[in-house]
């Protein structure tokens, strides 16, 4: 074998190695993208389910009679003060929550069949009819549900705490279904 053929063989091996590394890197990137997509879809599902659950609750504790039936409250001064948002006495788990502001400050780590470690957090505040937050009592509450997972990335960078954020403006304009 001549020097030229040996040099050509070495160049061919280097090119083949570079090609294999590129293919391997692309395969790994696709796997990472697939995991991130799965995690993002799961996070969105968790956020939507939590928001749907909150939407079934009474607007405020003042809307609930002692027998559990719901009534309309016209005077905002009868509604819960913002400083008293959060679970009421005896409401130890989210399954005990009976009105929207019980979810204020709620956090939970959720595990699904495929991924563990989703961080759920809920924030509730009063808002005006355009969704601008306020601490003054109004006939509107802004609910923000955030779900984050360590495998999530977004435009801010890897492992930021942005995650999935869903917002809903809930009004006290009608007695809501139980």
Q: Look at residue 164 in the predicted model and tell me its pLDDT.
A: 87
135 vs 14, which has greater pLDDT?
A: 135
pLDDT score recorded for residue 83: 96
Question: Cβ(159)–Cβ(152) under 8 Å?
Answer: yes
Per-residue pLDDT at 155 exceeds 60: no
Which tens digit of pLDDT belongs to each residue from 76-102?
Answer: 999 999 999 999 999 999 999 999 999
Cα gap 43→22, rounded to integer Å: 31
Q: Report if residue 176 sits inside a domain.
A: no
Q: Binning pLDDT at 50, 70 and 90, where does residue 17 land?
A: confident
Question: What digits encode the pLDDT tens for the residues 98-154?
Answer: 999 999 999 999 998 888 899 999 999 999 999 999 999 999 999 999 999 888 765
CA distance 168 to 41: 19
Q: Is 155 helix (H, G, I), strand (E, B) or coil?
A: coil
- Diameter of the chain by CA atoms? 97
Amino acid 177: pLDDT: 47
Q: Report yes or no on 177 lying in a domain.
A: no
Residue 159's domain spans which residues? 3-171
Spatial distance between the Cα atoms of 109 and 104, rounded to a whole number of angstroms: 16
Specify if 8 maps to a domain: yes
pLDDT number for residue 158: 43
pLDDT above 90 as % of the chain: 53
Name the residue with tokens 């495929």.
114
H/E element holding 38? helix 3-55
- Domain annotation covers residue 151: yes
Give the separation between CA 51 and CA 46, rounded to whole angstroms: 9
Residue 164 maps to a domain: yes
- pLDDT for 63 equals 92
Q: How confident is the model at residue 13 (pLDDT cuts 50, 70, 90)?
A: confident
Cα 50 from Cα 164, distance rounded (Å): 12
Domain membership flag for residue 69: yes
Structural domain count of the chain: 1
């Amino acid at each position: 074998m001549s020097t030229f053929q040996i040099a050509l063989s070495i160049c061919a091996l280097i090119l083949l190695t570079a090609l294999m590394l590129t293919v391997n890197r692309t395969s790994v990137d696709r796997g990472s993208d697939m995991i991130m997509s799965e995690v993002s879809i799961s996070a969105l599902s968790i956020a939507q389910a939590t928001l749907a659950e909150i939407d079934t609750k009474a607007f405020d504790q003042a809307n609930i009679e002692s027998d559990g039936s719901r009534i309309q409250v016209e005077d905002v001064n009868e509604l819960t003060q913002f400083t008293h948002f959060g679970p009421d006495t005896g409401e130890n788990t989210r399954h005990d929550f009976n009105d929207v502001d019980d979810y204020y400050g709620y956090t939970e780590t959720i595990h699904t069949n495929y991924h563990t470690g989703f961080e759920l957090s809920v924030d509730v505040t009063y808002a005006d009819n355009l969704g601008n937050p306020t601490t003054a009592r109004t006939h509107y509450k802004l609910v923000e549900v955030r779900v984050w997972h360590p495998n999530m990335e977004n435009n801010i960078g890897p492992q930021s705490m942005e995650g999935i954020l869903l917002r809903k403006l809930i009004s006290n304009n009608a007695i809501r279904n139980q």
